[in-house]
Homo-oligomer: A and B are copies of this chain.
């Protein structure tokens, strides 16, 4: 019986996650459920896509990843299940799987809406049972019809060059106020200097201890992206920056 991971914007304070888990465990009683998070900001598909992209590949092959950040619930947007990289994924067709799909060809099916499903809670009534079916070993192809076309993907503009400067953007802000960017080691060599809002952060550091408490630093984060942090503090607050904010690497 497979692992099922759960990523939603349902929050931890209401009954929604429990209803979803109950629905899964009713169909797949031996499944092991692992929360990725239920605190995606409500309706923030891009944040959900980032978190899912960071987490899914850490789990063993065969894991079922259920992701529901679904502001279009109950509308005409498709409901998807697919297999990629040896894992299964279930959720709405709204870009949530952008970071799973970017480098792979996949088999995708669209899931029918079960009779009686609540139009505002497809997590419980549609996606949950589909994830449970996959966890219980049902074939992907038995869950729905093949998708015509390709799944929705979020636009993700790559960094661009302005003379000898690479200009990237903040793509995610974590709990600590650390700014994750779309810059990677490929664009930012060791001799480059990171600059945010006229603040020169110097070259990439290795870890927080490389600057004094309260100091700003840039480093290659645990997901392979350049991150901007304040040691024992919040870079988002210090710099007044959020998703979309510009981060520059000066190469000369």
List the interface of chain A (C-beta within 8 A of B): 3, 5, 10-19, 21-23, 25-26, 29, 33-40, 42-43, 50-52, 54-55, 57-60, 71-75, 118-121, 124-125, 174-176, 206-209, 219, 221-222, 227, 231-232
5 closest pairs, A vs B, by CB?
Answer: A22-B58, A74-B207, A11-B175, A121-B222, A118-B222
Question: A231: which B residues are within 8 A, CB to CB?
Answer: 71
| A55 cross-chain contacts in B, Cβ below 8 A | 15, 18-19, 22
Q: Chain B's nearest CB lies how many Å from the CB of A168?
A: 19
Known: A118-B222, A209-B75. A37 touches B14 (CB 8 A): yes
Q: Cβ of B176 and Cβ of A58 under 8 Å apart? A: no
CB contacts (< 8 Å) of A72 on chain B: these are 208-209
Tell me if B59 and A26 are in contact (CB < 8 A): yes
**Between-chain CB contacts (< 8 Å), 10 pairs:** A10-B175, A11-B174, A12-B39, A15-B52, A18-B34, A25-B34, A29-B60, A72-B209, A73-B209, A74-B209
A34 and B34 within 8 A (CB) = no
- In the assembled complex, the Cα of A251 lies from the Cα of B120 at a distance in Å of 24
Task: Please name the residue on chain B nearest to A219 by beta carbon.
Answer: B120
CA distance in complex: A188, B29 (Å): 37
Most B CB contacts (10 A, CB to CB) among A10, A57, A175, A231 go to A175
Query: Is the Cβ of B37 less than 8 Å from the Cβ of A222?
Result: no
Residues of chain B within 8 A of A33, CB atoms compared? 34
Please tell me if the beta carbons of A208 and B71 are within 8 angstroms of each other in the complex: yes
B221 touches A118 (CB 8 A): yes
Known: A34-B33, A59-B26, A207-B75. A43 touches B175 (CB 8 A): no
Which of B5, B26, B37 is in CB contact (< 8 Å) with A12? B37
Contact B11 A25, beta carbon cutoff 8 Å: no
Query: What chain B residues lie within 8 Å of A176 (beta carbons)?
Result: 11, 42
Q: How far is the CA of A202 from the CA of B28 in the complex (A)?
A: 41
Contact of A175 among B13, B21, B73 (CB under 8 A): B13
Contacts of A208 in B (CB 8 A): 71-74, 120
B54 and A19 within 8 A (CB)? yes
A59 close to B120 (CB less than 8 A): no
